[in-house]
Amino acid sequence: MLLENMSYVEVEAYLVEKDTIIIPIGSTEQHSPYGIIGTDFITAEAIAREVGRRLDILVAPTITYGMSQHHMGFKGTVTLSPETMISMVKDIVNSFLEHGFRRIVFINGHGGNIEPVKTAFSQLKYENKKGIFEIISWFLLPEVQEIERDIFEDKNGYHATPSEISITKLLRPDAFKTKPTEKKRITKNKIYFPLSAEEFKKAYPDGRMESAPWLAKEKYGKLIMEEAIRVISRKVRDIQKIKIL
* Interaction site with Zn ion (CB under 5 A): 39-40, 164
Burial of 205 by CB count in 10 Å (0-12 exposed, 13-18 middle, 19+ buried)? exposed
Give 132's strand partners: 103
Q: Distance between CA atoms of 15 and 183, rounded to whole angstroms? A: 51
CB of 134 to Zn ion, least distance (A): 20
For residue 57, the minimal CB distance to Zn ion (Å) is 24
Task: Return the number of the residue (133 or 138) whose C-beta is nearest Zn ion.
Answer: 138
Question: Helix (H, G, I), strand (E, B), or coil: what is residue 179?
Answer: coil
Closer residue to Zn ion in complex, CB, 164/227 = 164
Q: How far is CA 58 from CA 4, 15, 50, 76, 197, in A?
A: 10, 10, 11, 31, 36
Q: Which is nearer to Zn ion, 40 or 210 (CB)?
A: 40
Is 31 in contact with 38 (CB distance < 8 Å)? no
Measured from the CB atom, the residue of 90 and 169 that comes closer to Zn ion is 169
Name the residue with the smallest CB distance to Zn ion: 40
130/205 with CB nearer Zn ion: 205
Find the shortest distance in angstroms from Cβ 149 to Zn ion: 18
To the nearest whole angstrom, how small is the minimum distance from the Cβ of residue 160 to Zn ion? 7
Q: How far apart are CA 189 and CA 215, in angstroms?
A: 21
